[in-house]
Each structure stands twice: as C-alpha cells, then as structure tokens.
Amino acid sequence: MEHDIVNVAQTKQPAIFTQFMNLVKNNELSHAYLFTGEDGAGQFSVAMGVAMRLFCTNVQNGMPCGKCAECVRIMNYDHPDVVVTKPDGQSIKIDQIRHVKSEFTKSAMEGSKKVFIISEAEKMTTGAANGLLKFIEEPTGNVVSFLISKNRNLVLPTIISRTQVVEFPSLSKKLMVKELQSSGVKPSEVNLMISITNSLDQIKGWLKDDWFASTQKMLEKWFIYLVKDNTMAMPFIQMSLMPLITNKDRQRIVISMMLSLFDDVLETKYGTLAEERVKYPSILEQTKLAASKWRNDQILKMLDELLDVNKSMAVNVNFQNIIEALTLKILEISKS
C-alpha cells in the first residue's frame, strides 16, 4: 500500500517519472509545471511522487521509499509543506487560491521546500487563475508548483506561458492516428479529434452519424464569418450550428473544437504550428489570415472569452445565448 503512488507513477509513466527523479537528484526542478493528458494518465501520481522524493528521508535507488514518516504524511495529505488543491464543487475558487497564495508567501514550516499540487487546474475561475499568476511568475523561496489538467486548451494561455508543459501520453500519437485511420476517420478530422480526446471509444461515438465531420464544417464556416467581421455569424449559429448541438456532451465538445480552432490561430501567430499538426486543414488560409489580422492580445482575449463559456454552462444559461454572446464578443474584439 505504501508504494502505491510510486508504483502507479512508474507503471503509467516510467520515462517521465524517471526524468523527474533525476531532476530532483540534480537539483534542476523548475518552479512551475503543467501536467496535461487524459484522466488516469498518471499526472497526479507523478506530482505526488516528486513531492515524496523531495522530502523522503530514506531514498532507495533514487526513488522515494514510501515508508518513512515524510512519505506517509504526504500520501495522507497531512504534510504542511505539500499543499493539494482540488475543485470545490464545479470550480477552483479564488478563496482556495488565496489559501495557496498565503502558503506561497510563508517560509516552509518543516524545511526549505514547498510543493503545490493543483488538480483539475482547468476548473480555476478566471479570477482564481489570475490570482495565481504572479506567484507562479515570481515564486517565494524554494517552491515547486504542479498544475494538473486533462485538457491544456481549457487552461488560460497566460498560465500555460508561465509553466513548463509536460504532456502525459496515453496511446502514442502515432498509434492513435494509425488506429483512427484504420477506423475510417478522414485525415482532415484526425488532428482535431486527438486534440480533444485520447479516448478511442469517445471518438467512435462521434463517428456514428457523421456528427463530428458535420460540426467541424459548420465551425469552419462560422470562423470564416468571424475573420471577415461578418455579422452573418449570428443567424448562422441558430440556423446551422445549433441543430447539431443536441445535448450537454455535444456542447462541451463544440467548445473544445472552438478552442482548438483558435489554438491553430495562436500557434500560427507564434510560428509554432507544424503542418502535420493543423487541426482545421481545409481553412488553413483563413487561419493564416486571422493570425496576420489579429494582434496577440486580441487572440488571447478571444481565448479567454471561450474559456469563460464553461462558467456560463455551469450555471445553465441557454447554450444558444452563450454562443451568440461569445460570437458578438469576438466580433467586438476583432474590431478593437
């Protein structure tokens, strides 16, 4: 039982875990990491394992022992210098981050180190995320922060830019692409699908009635209206997009698809979008046009608006109203 966390980390992500053990050994840890990947890919176990290695009093072959008092306290969430924050209900609220911030500014109670682990970081409210930013940017003392999120597209870009992002693989991308192609998925859909999920079962559900391909085409048309500052984007939502969005699950997928679309724009702007990773290849020219037309701050504001949609959905606002308000806001930002 004592070794569960270390065993899980070693089993699920042997290369990543070994790399972090070496970083600790060589005193080369950065101050902030974002661990991303599907649920169950081992992110939390690796973060906890790193915390145990930092405090373990009986390191065995470069690994935490899992048995000493320090390791046991960490596993029991009872160590004053290892703070774990999880969503309180639907979100991580600013009060929770204020607690973390107060811990940041204290000197470690039982040593010179302090570790913060924030699970489901994508559920931080915008206020909570902004409250955390400067402490990630300018940590006090010997502090290591681990933010864990199953989808980096749902984390504020400003947070991503201030952390080292570590992608936790489930299936390798090559294997995932191969399996999707053998399932009859069109090449134009593969990158978008694997940007949203690593679950083959989920993807197979999307393929049943050609829903995913139809929605992708509608979002491409919606985006072209936005790039052209064309207010026809508004009636288009009601006439063409909403008939496809028939339940909550599809609402969430559509938001992820929108985020991936604007992620293409941002990466094109930064010159980091490799051709083989383009998620909307059929509108690549319009994506390039948007990247040249919109400033960095405009694209980041648009992404922030998209991320805020999750909050509106959490309080059961009508989804069509949410998307129409989002569209208006993007059109406003485009002209600002």
Q: What is the pLDDT of residue 139?
A: 65
Q: What is the pLDDT of residue 198?
A: 73
Owner of token pair 């938001």: 255
Q: Is 145 left (phi over 0), alpha (psi -120 to 50) or beta?
A: beta
Domain 5-167, classified CATH 3.40.50.300, yes or no: yes
- Per-residue confidence band for 112, with pLDDT thresholds at 50, 70 and 90: low
Q: What is the pLDDT of residue 135?
A: 75
Closest CA to 64 of 83, 47, 77, 43: 47
Domain 209-335, classified CATH 1.20.1250.10, yes or no: no
CA dihedral 181, 186, 191, 192 (to 10 degrees): -130
- Distances from the Cα of 171 to the Cα of 41, 193, 207, angstroms: 10, 14, 19
Q: What is the pLDDT of residue 39?
A: 66
Q: What is the pLDDT of residue 2?
A: 39
Domain ranges of the chain: 5-167, 209-335
Does residue 147 or residue 206 have the better pLDDT? 147
Per-residue pLDDT at 215 exceeds 50: yes
Q: What is the pLDDT of residue 321?
A: 94
Q: What is the mean pLDDT of the chain?
A: 87
Q: What is the pLDDT of residue 201?
A: 63
What are the residues facing 166 on neighbouring strands?
35
Q: What is the pLDDT of residue 1?
A: 38
Tell how strand 113-118 and strand 82-85 pair up: parallel
Q: Find the mean pLDDT for residues 229-249.
A: 94
Per-residue pLDDT at 332 exceeds 70: yes
- Per-residue confidence band for 104, with pLDDT thresholds at 50, 70 and 90: low
The helix (run of H) or strand (run of E) holding residue 221 is helix 211-227
pLDDT > 90 fraction of the chain, expressed in percent and rounded: 53
Q: pLDDT by residue (tens digit) across 134-175? A: 778 776 667 899 999 988 888 888 888 889 999 988 756 765
Q: What is the pLDDT of residue 310?
A: 81
Per-residue pLDDT at 3 exceeds 60: no
Does residue 314 or residue 278 have the better pLDDT? 278
DSSP conformation class of 259: H
User: What three-state secondary structure class fits 295?
Assistant: coil
Q: pLDDT by residue (tens digit) across 43-65? A: 999 999 999 999 999 999 999 99
Does residue 139 or residue 5 have the better pLDDT? 5
Per-residue pLDDT at 109 exceeds 60: no
| Packing angle of the helix pair 43-55, 4-12 (nearest 10 deg) | 130
